[in-house]
Structure 1
Amino acid sequence: MSQMKSITSDANPLYKELKQLATSAQARRKAGRTLLDGIHLAEAYLQHAGKPALCVASETALGHDEAAVLIRQCQAEGVQCIVLPDGQYRALSQVEHGVGLLFVIETPKTTVPAALTQSAVLLDNLQDPGNLGSVLRSAAAAGIKQIYCSEGSASAWSPKVLRAGMGAHFIVDIFEGVDLAALIATAQIPVLATSSYATQSIYQADLSGSLAWLFGHEGQGVAEDLLQLASQQVVIPHRGQMESLNVAAAAAVCFFEQLRQTK
């Protein structure tokens, strides 16, 4: 069983490294690591993905029952565990009023499959971390296992997206920096793009088999060249004065209509 190591100095090299990971996307990319902030993500990671590289707790967390269980589990599995004074811990965490537990994990390395053959989500230039995390969460809940993000999309493994995903990251495969046009060209299943200009509603479309959903940028929607490559364009009918739905809400409607049709 690993021992808990206490760090109290801001000058400690490991603490400096943690601060870099907490505040810099570039540092996370360079290290190939990211932070899971909070009890729920830590629990989900242990359940679905395995051992973290490092377990970091605040002094307060040591007295919290749920956190203590996870820390003991990490120690039993030989994970390096460190404890920080609450003030130092707060400099690493973006969670307000959190328990004070975070994991450092290796960012998974994935290789884009040779062809698109199973139900998937294609995200073209999705910018908002909250939206991306919500799409991942809804996809995981609907049983969709593959997520492809274009260049220019928010970083899927950033702490903000991880928090919004609520553990979805550990049960889907995420591919980043993907050439979506090339991917659609390999598709052995229909690719459906959502567009407010489409005439066919998702409720009229046949969603009972494997298919890929294509969603676009929050403001501009799916890029025109990708829209043209899609097998079909569909719209979510809605009443009222709103021009469109938030992309994460639209994705959830689509996924669960697909799930309803396949049951």
Structure 2
Amino acid sequence: MKHITSRDNALFKHLKALAGSTHQRRKAGQSLLDGVHLAQAYVAARGQPVTCLVSERHYDHAEVAPLLAEVDSERVVVLADALFTQISGVVNGIDLMLVIETPAGHLPARIEQDCIILDGVQDAGNVGSILRSAAAAGIRDAFLATGCAFAWSVKTLRAGMGANFHLNIVEHCTLEALAPRLAIPLLATSSHAEAAVFDTDLRGPVAWVVGNEGAGVSEGWMAHVTRKVGIPQPGGMESLNVAAATAICLFEAVRQRRAG
């Protein structure tokens, strides 16, 4: 394994650039997974990372050792403690990080299974939460339209808690490319819907489109919606957070399918 102590090291400079800029991560086609939980989730789901980084002080940590045992030794890099703090955004955590090749995802020719479409969801925390709910509900395809937060940003990954590694995530999807491929009903939530989601038959495959935090689903996507459904709110609130509303819809489908 490698041991880096100098800030002038070429690999460290690359790592610092990745840590400091979403643009650099997009350009390099690489993402950073900060913390033991995300690292464990990735290795369990996808296998070997490009690089496994650990600080000198935590190299022998009880939670780190099992993970290092699963990673090829030539992929492990030990960083001086002062260097690791310059690339990690985790405060008071365990100094472990993976560098991975960012999965590109693939757009199926015909979409016949449950999926989620994100239309301009701009908050990275919301994107990560939606991906987490989708993966937990058994959905495998997540399509993100242009204007969504980066699915592989540090904040999105943290909110997703490993969900990204179980999904086929396709970014920069356009309405023109995606809508003709849908062979299943397309549903969206609306405060003006006549039917509640709890009264809608969700036992078959459906596609859900969820919109921007403020503006909601765009007119273009709404024109392709098969059915609008509402979420009853007896408390009288005007609306729900987009991630919370999405989770309700996805798990109502789970409930109906479990019921037979």
Q: After superposition, where does 1:86-165 map in structure 2 within 5 Å?
A: 86-165=81-160
The aligned residue for residue 66 of structure 1 is 63
AA at the equivalent of 2:237: M
For 2:85 and 2:17, the matched residues in 1 are separated by 14
Matching residue within 215, 240, 245 for 1:250: 245
Q: After superposition, where does 1:41-80 map in structure 2 within 5 Å?
A: 41-74=38-71, 77-80=72-75
Matching residue within 31, 37, 41 for 1:40: 37
Q: Does 1:15 align with 2:8?
A: no
Q: Show CA shifts across 1:134-192 (max 9, x none).
A: 11111111101100000110110111111111111111110100013542232111000
For 1:16 and 1:149, the matched residues in 2 are separated by 31
Identity rate, percent: 48
Residue 64 of structure 2 aligns to a residue in which SS?
Answer: helix
How many residue pairs end up in the alignment?
258
* C-alpha displacement of 1:87: 2.4
153-162 vs 179-188, which deviates more?
A: 179-188
Task: In structure 1, list runs of 5 or more residues that go unmatched.
Answer: none
The aligned residue for residue 261 of structure 1 is 256
For 1:205 and 1:228, the matched residues in 2 are separated by 19
Residue 33 of structure 2 aligns to a residue in which SS?
Answer: strand
Residue 144 of structure 1 aligns to a residue in which SS?
Answer: coil
AA at the equivalent of 2:51: L
The aligned residue for residue 27 of structure 2 is 30
194-203 vs 119-128, which deviates more?
A: 194-203
For 1:186 and 1:111, the matched residues in 2 are separated by 13
TM-score scaled to structure 2, two decimals?
Answer: 0.96
AA at the equivalent of 1:162: L
The aligned residue for residue 186 of structure 1 is 181
* C-alpha displacement of 1:79: 4.1
RMSD of Structure 2 on Structure 1 (CA): 1.2
Residue 35 of structure 1 aligns to a residue in which SS?
Answer: strand
Residue 83 of structure 1 aligns to a residue in which SS?
Answer: strand
* C-alpha displacement of 1:14: 0.6
Residue 137 of structure 1 aligns to a residue in which SS?
Answer: helix
For 1:130 and 1:175, the matched residues in 2 are separated by 18
TM-score scaled to structure 1, two decimals?
Answer: 0.95
* C-alpha displacement of 1:23: 1.0
For 1:159 and 1:90, the matched residues in 2 are separated by 15
Return closer, same or farther for 1:191/1:170 CA change in 2, 3 Å cut-off.
same
Q: Is the 8 A contact 2:126 2:242 kept in 1?
A: yes
Task: In structure 2, list runs of 5 or more residues that go unmatched.
Answer: none
For 2:75 and 2:44, the matched residues in 1 are separated by 18
Q: Show CA shifts across 1:224-245 (max 9, x none).
A: 1211210001111112242111
AA at the equivalent of 1:65: A
Q: Does 1:221 align with 2:200?
A: no
Q: Show CA shifts across 1:179-212 (max 9, x none).
A: 1354223211100011122221101111111000
